[in-house]
């Protein structure tokens, strides 16, 4: 009877934890750095995308331009033919992989429960080690850094007026899946001041896509002047 009572309590505890965890929101956190000499207004926000000669038939770039174009539209930008555009918008992007090593605990359980969880888990939810860490082992995991740069220049003069870079890192190995968060973060609160660095947090919705909610924090001036800004390839 005591075993049954403890089993029921454990089941209720696990059910409660499941409900609580299901209500948690996962965020994608992106660092954004902007350099700006912006003086445009809504009436003159016409633009066209510009590409290097070897990018003319790049389907990947077309996909990313569409995402950035959607975000530009929320700031009253209107895409037109290049010959009519006041601004030219160029994109740069990339992904880099690294390995990180984390020390993870090895657990020991002084009170094994041979009846809990049979037949699948006779030692309880912690495994044979139990809930008390006695040692640590190093585990290595891949981490991926995703990057998007958006550079806006005046078509007539070639003058750079806005240069923003968005960067985030995590376990996502696909740049395509990371790009909606990068595009939205890069153009959040447009136009940012010159030399501003801040963090943008975007929640992931239940289907795994971007949410409409955007939170920005921690704006701070950067040390590098706008004239020294470069788009990272």
Q: Within a 13 Å sphere around the CA of 106, how many CA atoms are in the beta-carbon half?
A: 6
Contact criterion met (CB below 8 Å) for 124 and 117: yes
More confidently predicted of 136 and 93: 93
140 compared with 120, residue with greater pLDDT? 140
pLDDT at 63: 97
Are 139 and 105 contacting, i.e. CB atoms less than 8 angstroms apart? no
Q: 39: pLDDT confidence band, cut at 50, 70 and 90?
A: confident
pLDDT at 140: 85
Helix (H, G, I), strand (E, B) or coil at 124: coil
Where does residue 224 fall: left (phi above 0), alpha (psi -120 to 50 degrees), or beta otherwise? beta
Q: Give the model's confidence band at 212: pLDDT under 50 very low, under 70 low, under 90 confident, else very high.
A: low
In this structure, the chain runs to a length of: 233
Q: Residue 43: what pLDDT?
A: 82
Write out the two tokens for 213.
Answer: 């909610």
Helix (H, G, I), strand (E, B) or coil at 164: strand
Q: Could you tell me the pLDDT band of residue 23, with boundaries at 50, 70 and 90?
A: very low
Q: What is the pLDDT of residue 44?
A: 85
User: C-alpha angle 76/188/46, rounded to 5°?
Assistant: 25
The pLDDT of residue 24 is above 60: no
pLDDT at 9: 46
Mean pLDDT, residues 101-118: 63
**175 Cβ contact partners less than 8 Å away, ≥ 6 residues apart:** 93, 94, 95, 146
Residues 6 or more apart whose CB falls under 8 angstroms from that of 164 comprise: 32, 33, 34, 35, 149, 150, 186, 187, 192
**Residue in the block written with tokens 């954004």:** 32
pLDDT tens digits, one per residue of 54-72: 899 999 999 999 999 999 9
Q: How many CA atoms lie within 13 A of 29 on its CB side?
A: 7
Q: Is the pLDDT of residue 15 over 70?
A: no
Q: Is the pLDDT of residue 213 over 70?
A: no
Task: Report the CATH fold assignment for 23-99+143-228.
Answer: Double Stranded RNA Binding Domain (3.30.160)
Instruction: Report strand pairing: 215-221 vs 196-203.
Output: antiparallel
* Least confident stretch, 88-92, 144-148, 200-204, 216-220: 216-220
Q: For residue 72, give every residue at least 6 positions away whose Cβ sits within 8 Å of its Cβ, in sequence order, or none.
A: 47, 79, 89, 187
Q: In this predicted model, which residue has the larger pLDDT, 140 or 212? A: 140
What is the pTM (predicted TM-score) of this model?
0.69
pLDDT at 12: 40
The 3-state DSSP class for residue 26 equals: coil
* Pair 161, 88: CB distance under 8 Å: no
CA distance 160 to 193: 14
């Amino acid at each position: 009877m005591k075993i049954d009572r403890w089993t029921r309590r454990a089941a209720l505890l696990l059910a409660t934890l499941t409900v609580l965890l299901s209500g948690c929101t996962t965020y994608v956190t992106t660092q954004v750095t902007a350099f700006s000499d912006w003086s445009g207004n809504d009436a003159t926000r016409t633009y066209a995308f510009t590409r290097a000669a070897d990018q003319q038939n790049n389907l990947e770039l077309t996909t990313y331009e569409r995402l950035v174009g959607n975000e530009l539209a929320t700031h009253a930008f209107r895409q037109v033919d290049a010959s009519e555009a006041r601004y030219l918008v160029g994109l740069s992007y990339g992904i880099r992989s690294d390995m990180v090593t984390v020390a993870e605990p090895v657990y020991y359980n002084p009170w094994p429960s041979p009846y809990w969880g049979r037949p699948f888990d006779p030692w309880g939810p912690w495994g044979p080690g139990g809930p008390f860490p006695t040692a640590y082992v190093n585990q290595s995991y891949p981490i991926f850094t995703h990057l998007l740069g958006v550079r806006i220049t005046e078509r007539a003069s070639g003058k750079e007026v806005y240069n923003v870079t968005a960067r985030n890192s995590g376990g996502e190995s696909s740049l395509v899946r990371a790009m909606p968060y990068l595009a939205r973060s890069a153009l959040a609160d447009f136009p940012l001041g010159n030399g501003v660095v801040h963090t943008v947090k975007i929640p992931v919705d239940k289907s795994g896509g971007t949410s409409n909610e955007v939170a920005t924090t921690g704006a701070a001036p950067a040390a590098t002047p706008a004239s020294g800004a470069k788009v990272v390839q």
